[in-house]
Structure formats: structure tokens, C-alpha cells
Amino acid sequence: MKKVLKLLGYSVLVIIFTAASFAGYVAISGIPTYTPGKVNLKIDVTPVKVERGRKYASMLCITCHLDPSTGKLTGKRLADVPPSFGVSYSKNITRDPIYGVGAWTNGEIAYLLRTGITRTGRYAPPWMPKFPHMSDEDLGSVISFLRSDDPLTAPAAVNPPGISKPSFLTKLLTHVVFKPLPYPTAPILTPAATDQVAYGRYLSVNLGCFACHSANFRSNNELEPEKSAGYMGGGNPLQDESGQLVLSANLTPDPSGLAQWNESDFTRALRTGIRPDHTVLSYPMSPAPELTNADAHAIYAYLRTVPKIHNVVARTERPAVAAGTNQGKTLYYHYGCNSCHGDSGSGVGDLRHATQDYPTDPQLEAFIRHASSFKPGTKMPEWNGIIGESEYTPLIGYIRELGRTAASSESSQ
């Protein structure tokens, strides 16, 4: 008996020692590097491809790579990455040959987007999405867009405003859970839009619906999405731009999911971010005005075919509007402006310059009501009919206050 215990003691020691050395190795070596494959990819950049690429990029790349203060894809701090993963900045992906991806070959960009491995061999962190199922045509379109003369991709010789500091957890996960994906060996075709369910699945996989809407990023199966734990059943813990917890919704046709939603409810929520009960969806669920009605109908048709999961997901609590002192601030949080604009007013869109852009209150109010008539295709929701008529004045007061706070902290630096 004593001998057995002794043996057991040794093996525990060995395990602890191995675990400790592995932890030390992970901490020192950081995110693993790989040898990037060489891909020769010729793309005929056509206006049609650039347009299709712009549509995908504005749903798939812009929220992370656009710095609202440069107005270009120069990279920014990703405020919605949970602190346990460390600090993360995206990169400059403009056409600048030194700071951006102007000198990357088509093959190098494609290899990164498919596998997650950059041209220097670094593994892009798990939250930078990978696109193993996107058709060759659509992937080529995204690359064509990056090459195009769109103002978003105009060369900008700037670095992102900071340097990423991955946490030990991120390093550990990239050693054991998150691995690069294989580069596809066979051609990938876009399903015909007339095959509604197949096309809906294609869109939903490539737009990352399953990635956010299954149980957890860690148990997702990127190569065989349907094998992800809790496929489309929601509950994945995410964060908005002010660091608040937001659980993804259940999209399966279960009563705890979208059973009661009809096609037009769904289309409106997807394209404008407004639910049937007139509440606005929180970031990171961004409105996708880029999608056509037909695209949204296809995704809806596909989601109707997904196995039901019973999972009641709690919605983000928004503070009630108190009649107290700073009513404007309370309204800002009540309507979830903070989910996109953060606590400071800058996030996926920067509202701190609104005072210069819309000097009078009626101008600013008109923008908040109908942003898309000022900026077609914007992801700023239409608030007309959602914000109470008497609430615009205090809310605008608070927006101007956020602008003044930002201006005074800039001038005191």
C-alpha cells in the first residue's frame, strides 16, 4: 500500500513538473508560429468583384479594422476582447506597402484568411476570423476590395494606436485549442442563390452566424460548423464596446429561439438591428444593411432547417431611465448607445465629433433619427420611433458633454 502511495506521489510530481514546464514554455514562446504555405493566386480585379468584396468586407472586416479617427482600415484597439485574453489591436490593412498589406501577394492574403497564418508565420489570434468555407470567387472579391481605390483602403503610413499583449490564457489556448486550419485543396464554389437553403447556409457560415451563435468559441468546429457544441443555440458570452457581457441569441426554430419570428421580423433585425419589440440589438450583433432582402430570406430559410435547441438566453440588462440628475447619461445606457460607442463615445463609430459635424440640436436630432439618410449604408441604427420624443434633448446634451470631455483631455495632453 505504501509503495503504491509513493508511486502515486511520484507520478503526481511528474505531472506537476510537466505541467509547470509546459506553462513556462507557453509563457516564453507566446503565440506559436508556423511555416506559411506558398500559394500562387491570380485575381482579375473587376468592378463587380470589388463591389462584392466591399459588401463582404463591410460585414466581416470593417468593425475590427476601421479606426474611426483615421477613417481608414488602419487598425484599432479591440475593446470587445475580454480582459482575460489580454489586450488586442487589429492591424493596418490599407494598401500601404510598409504599414499595411500593399506588399503582400494575393496568395499571402488568401493563405491568412483561410488558415490564420500570416506571411511571417505568426498565428492570428482566435478572434480574427478564418474563412475555410468562403468560395474562391468571394475570397478573391475580398482581396480585390483590399486592392481597390476605396477610401477605406487608401495607403496610410500609420501603425495601430498600440501593441497587442496576449494573456497567458490566449497563449495557452493557441497551443492547445485554437490551431491553424488547413489550406483547402479542392476548389470551393458559391452555391446558386436560387437554392435558398444551401445559399442561406453558405451565407450564415461565412458571415460567422454560427461562430457567435453556438455555445462557445472554444467548442466551435470551424471545418464542420454543424458539429459545434450547441449549434446556433446561443449563449456564447461576448462583450460589447463598453466591456459589458452580451450573450448571443438562440437562432434555432425552438420556442426559446426564433420560433415566433416571421421572415420580415428576421429581415428587419438583420438589416437594421431592430427587434420586433422595437429594442435595438447590442453590439457585437451589428446591423447588416449590406444584405439584400433575398440574402436575409435565404438565411431565414436555412435557420428553419437547423435542429431545435431549448436554451432560454438572458438579454443584456439595460438600466431603467431614472428621472434623476443626469437623464442624458441614463438614456445613453438605457438605449445601449454604449454597446457600439463605448463609455467614452468612441467605439465602432465615434460620436465625440458630433458637435462639430451637427452644430445645432435639430441637426443632431435629425441624424440620430435617420442616420441612413445622412450616411447611406451606415451601421448606426434608425432611432426614430424608438427614442421617446422628450428624450432627444437630454440625450443630445450628454453627447455634447462626451465631445467636450474628449476635447479637454486632448488639449491637456
Please say which residue, 6 or 375, places its beta carbon nearer to ligand HEC: 375
Cis upstream peptide for 237 (omega within 30°): no
Please say which residue, 1 or 340, places its beta carbon nearer to ligand HEC: 340
Write down the least CB distance from residue 63 to ligand HEC, Å.
Answer: 6
Please say which residue, 263 or 357, places its beta carbon nearer to ligand HEC: 357
Write down the least CB distance from residue 6 to ligand HEC, Å.
Answer: 47
Given a contact cutoff of 8 angstroms between Cβ atoms, the answer to whether 156 and 96 are in contact is yes
- What is the three-class DSSP state of 31? coil
Write down the least CB distance from residue 245 to ligand HEC, Å.
Answer: 10
Q: Which of 276, 223, 220, 212 is nearest to 250 (CA)?
A: 212
Please say which residue, 9 or 388, places its beta carbon nearer to ligand HEC: 388
CA-CA distances (angstroms) from residue 335 to 84, 242, 339? 27, 13, 9
Please say which residue, 15 or 103, places its beta carbon nearer to ligand HEC: 103
Write down the least CB distance from residue 366 to ligand HEC, Å.
Answer: 10
Cα 321 to Cα 98: distance, rounded to the nearest angstrom:
49
Given a contact cutoff of 8 angstroms between Cβ atoms, the answer to whether 128 and 118 are in contact is no
Please say which residue, 5 or 314, places its beta carbon nearer to ligand HEC: 314
Write down the least CB distance from residue 21 to ligand HEC, Å.
Answer: 26
Write down the least CB distance from residue 88 to ligand HEC, Å.
Answer: 5
DSSP state, residue 40? -
Write down the least CB distance from residue 280 to ligand HEC, Å.
Answer: 6
Given a contact cutoff of 8 angstroms between Cβ atoms, the answer to whether 205 and 226 are in contact is no
CA dihedral angle for residue 10, residue 12, residue 14, residue 18, rounded to 10 degrees? -170
Q: Which of 256, 241, 274 is nearest to 314 (CA)?
A: 256
Tell me the residue nearest to ligand HEC as measured from the CB. Answer: 349
Write down the least CB distance from residue 219 to ligand HEC, Å.
Answer: 16
- What is the three-class DSSP state of 272? helix
Please say which residue, 26 or 88, places its beta carbon nearer to ligand HEC: 88
Secondary structure (DSSP) of 298-352:
HHHHHHTTSPP----PPPPP-----SSS-HHHHHHHHTTHHHHHTTTSBSSSB-T
Secondary structure (DSSP) of 215-254:
S-GGG--SSSGGGSTTTT----EEE-TTS-EEEPPP-SSS
Please say which residue, 26 or 138, places its beta carbon nearer to ligand HEC: 138
CA-CA distances (angstroms) from residue 293 to 86, 222, 299? 39, 27, 10
Please say which residue, 10 or 361, places its beta carbon nearer to ligand HEC: 361
Write down the least CB distance from residue 185 to ligand HEC, Å.
Answer: 21
Cα 385 to Cα 388: distance, rounded to the nearest angstrom:
7
- Give the distance from CA 380 to its chain's centroid: 15
